Amino acid sequence: MTIFSNDALIGEHILITGATGGIGYEAAKEAVRTGAHITITGRNEEKLESLKEECNKLNSEVEVFVGPADINSEDDRKQLVQNAKESIGPITGLVNSAGIGGGAPLEDLTEDQLRKPMELNYFSTVLLTQEVYKDMKEQRRGSIVNLSSLSGLRGTHSNIAYSSSKFAVIGFTQSLAIEAIEYNVRVNAICPGFVDTSMGRQAIANIGKREGRSYEKQRQISEEALPSGRISTPEEVARSIVYLLTDACENIVGESLKISGGGVMR
């Protein structure tokens, strides 16, 4: 389903991290449908090239730059931003969708399990944004969308590491939003619940394992608990991301857009 005009993001250059994952992958496709040039990054170059082919088929008039990178690496972050600007031009939009899950109850939580989500979901998000924001601030133009989660708004069982990292993303989003709007740069967050991606399905499977249920049974229970009766699709999340990138929401600043199927209403 297409809900935007094909020129909603025309002339924009959007950098999308985590583009080999379900949400980032669909966000890239939705962005080119609306006329944006994009830089896509992730660690799997083969998947990035496949995504580029799909994007070129959707819109042959936009540029798609593939920039494989490990955004945990300072050198990779700097090189990615530099190469993107040299290839397409100034970056006017940033989608921080790279992230990992994982969790355990406190007594079973290892230091590595605690550090990994925080490193990628929070620290790398902040540090990459720092690289991109400098130019946005100078240009007095830009939009940043951070992928948080419903787990960044309330805690859940055996989810300390992931939830803490996503709470941190919300704090970053709100604080930077106040700084950035002075320079006409908008910063917002997307907070989906379970999404039908490999990461979302694994999260459901983990709950099922803890409760002694199959994945299929746990998914049924999780979906029946939602007023909408189903979990979200990556395409739905991608459309919400693109909405926040467009000038249709010029006065939406520092918000956390929930996509919960009615499961979280406050």
- The CATH number of the domain holding residue 242 is 3.40.50.720
Query: What was the pLDDT predicted at 121?
Result: 97
97 & 219 share domain = no
The phi and psi torsions of 64 (rounded to 5 degrees) equal -125, 115
Convert 171-191 to b/e letters by CB count within 10 Å (16 or more is b). Answer: ebbbebbeebeeeebbbbbbb
Q: How far apart are CA 214 and CA 186, in angstroms?
A: 42
79 & 210 share domain = no
Number of domains in the chain: 2
Query: What was the pLDDT predicted at 1?
Result: 55
128 & 222 share domain = no
169 located within any domain? yes
Q: How far apart are CA 219 and CA 76, in angstroms?
A: 37
Query: What was the pLDDT predicted at 101?
Result: 92
Query: What was the pLDDT predicted at 78?
Result: 98
2 located within any domain? no
68 located within any domain? yes
Catalytic residues: 148, 162, 166
123 located within any domain? yes
61 located within any domain? yes
207 located within any domain? yes
137 & 202 share domain = no
* Cβ atoms < 10 Å from Cβ of 155: 11
Chain position carrying tokens 């993001």: 9
25 & 81 share domain = yes
Q: For the chain, how far is it from start to end, CA to CA, in angstroms?
A: 28
174 & 64 share domain = yes
Q: DSSP readout, the chain?
A: ---S-TTTTTT-EEEESSTTSHHHHHHHHHHHHTT-EEEE--S-HHHHHHHHHHHHHH-TTS-EEE----TTSHHHHHHHHHHHHHHT----EEEE---------GGG--HHHHHHHIIIIIIIHHHHHHHHHHHHHHHT-EEEEEE--GGGTS--TT-HHHHHHHHHHHHHHHHHHHHHGGGTEEEEEEEE-SBSSHHHHHHHHHHHHHHT--HHHHHHHHHHTSTTSSPBPHHHHHHHHHHHHSGGGTT--S-EEEE-TTS---
Look up the domain containing 199 and give its range: 194-231
179 & 120 share domain = yes
Query: What was the pLDDT predicted at 206?
Result: 92
122 located within any domain? yes
227 & 145 share domain = no
Query: What was the pLDDT predicted at 266?
Result: 78
87 & 214 share domain = no
53: CB partners within 8 A, 6+ apart: none
161 & 251 share domain = yes
> Contact, 71 vs 119, CB < 8 A?
no
Tell me which residue of 88, 188, 80 sits closest to 143, measured CA to CA. Answer: 188
Query: What was the pLDDT predicted at 3?
Result: 65
Tell me which residue of 121, 109, 105, 145 sits closest to 15, measured CA to CA. Answer: 145
209 located within any domain? yes
Q: Do β-strands 256-259 and 93-96 pair in parallel, antiparallel, or remain unpaired?
A: unpaired
178 & 221 share domain = no
166 & 249 share domain = yes
Q: How far apart are CA 217 and CA 194, in angstroms?
A: 15
pLDDT tens per residue across all 266 residues of the chain: 566 788 999 999 999 999 999 999 999 999 999 999 999 999 999 999 999 999 999 999 999 999 999 999 999 999 999 999 999 999 999 999 999 998 889 999 999 999 999 999 999 999 999 999 999 999 999 999 999 999 999 999 999 999 999 999 999 999 999 999 999 999 999 999 999 999 999 999 999 999 999 999 999 999 999 999 999 999 999 999 999 999 999 999 999 999 999 999 87
Task: List residues bridging with 128 in a β-sheet.
Answer: none
